[in-house]
Structure 1
Amino acid sequence: MRSGIARLWHILEDDHRVMVAQLARYGFAGVGVTLFQIAVYNALAGPHGYAPLIANSFAFVAAMLLGYTIHSRFSFQGHGRRDNVARSAGRFVIASLIGFAINSFWVWSLTGLLHLPHWAPSLPMFFVTPFALFWLNRRWVFG
């Protein structure tokens, strides 16, 4: 007897299965990249005493370099056209800058405006920003 998930999987159309598989790979890889970015941010903003927005900038660069490699080779493997690496890399940088702006908003609003501790932006960085970036990466960067 099949489980509910197995039945649902077989009901899905092929296009939807591909997207669900990409979302699962993106979630798996993205958790690692996001945790890496949050760790770099918190290490710099906490013990090293960097201003939160400066720490966020360094964490962004580190995570973007790691993220492009992982997402282009794993999360979105076989998806979209791969004939123009410069185009997809350029689009990845633009999408990442959008993610950087979103995370900078979290840092500014939570640490600057609300005067919360340096680690407070970690929650929306982990639970909100990645969903916007999945959509951008799937539809525009690697699509």
Structure 2
Amino acid sequence: MEAVLKHIRSPETREIFWQLVRFGFFGGLSTLIYAAVYWPIATYGQKEWPLANSATWPVAANLLGYVAAVLSGYVMHSRWSFRGHGTRGNLARTGGRFFATSLVSLGMNTFFVWLLTGPMHGPTWWPLVPAVFFTPLITFVINRLWVFA
């Protein structure tokens, strides 16, 4: 038990904990930006442009939300979430890896949008549930171990 308590109190464990807290906060802001772009376009876009295929609006809105979230997310995570972790000398390396990680995120969220609004015929807000609770956990691990290592 003492070994477990010593590990919990270690500086490395504290560092990971505070990175996760910052990642959650700034990832939450990035997710809010995604949702603020995605939901209105997915919900009201087809009403404004009725000639477009209504099934494509949620997917197009997802892509636009993704772009907004990636741009804001890179700045927030590189400057604050993972500050003091790893090296930042090569913007092309970290930026490229962050973009690759965001493609994983995009793929997961696009799958959720397609599945939940397509075959399951759910409302446009359904994909926000896994996008908010599942995708961020996966991207934290990738960002910590690969992007900002």
Specify if TM > 0.5.
yes
What is the CA distance between 1:10 and its match in structure 2? 9.5
Cα deviations across residues 58-113 of structure 1 (Å, max 9, x unaligned)? 11011000000000001001110111111000000000000000000100110011
Name the structure 1 match of 2:121. Answer: 115
Q: How does 1:62-73 map to 2 (within 5 A)?
A: 62-73=68-79
Q: How does 1:1-143 map to 2 (within 5 A)?
A: 11-49=8-46, 51-143=57-149
Distance, in Å, in 2 between the alignment partners of 1:9 and 1:55 is 47
Which stretches of structure 1, 4 residues or more, deviate above 2 A after TM superposition?
Answer: 8-11
Task: Give unpaired runs (5+ residues) of structure 2.
Answer: 47-55
What is the CA distance between 1:48 and its match in structure 2? 2.0
User: Cα RMSD between the aligned structures?
Assistant: 1.6
Distance, in Å, in 2 between the alignment partners of 1:132 and 1:103 is 12
SS at match of 2:126: coil
Change (3 A) 1:29 1:9: farther
Q: Provide the aligned length of Structure 1 versus Structure 2.
A: 136
Distance, in Å, in 2 between the alignment partners of 1:53 and 1:86 is 29
TM-score, with length taken from structure 1: 0.90
Change (3 A) 1:87 1:65: same
Task: Give unpaired runs (5+ residues) of structure 1.
Answer: 1-7
Q: Is the contact made by 1:81 and 1:142 (CA closer than 8 Å) also made in structure 2?
A: yes
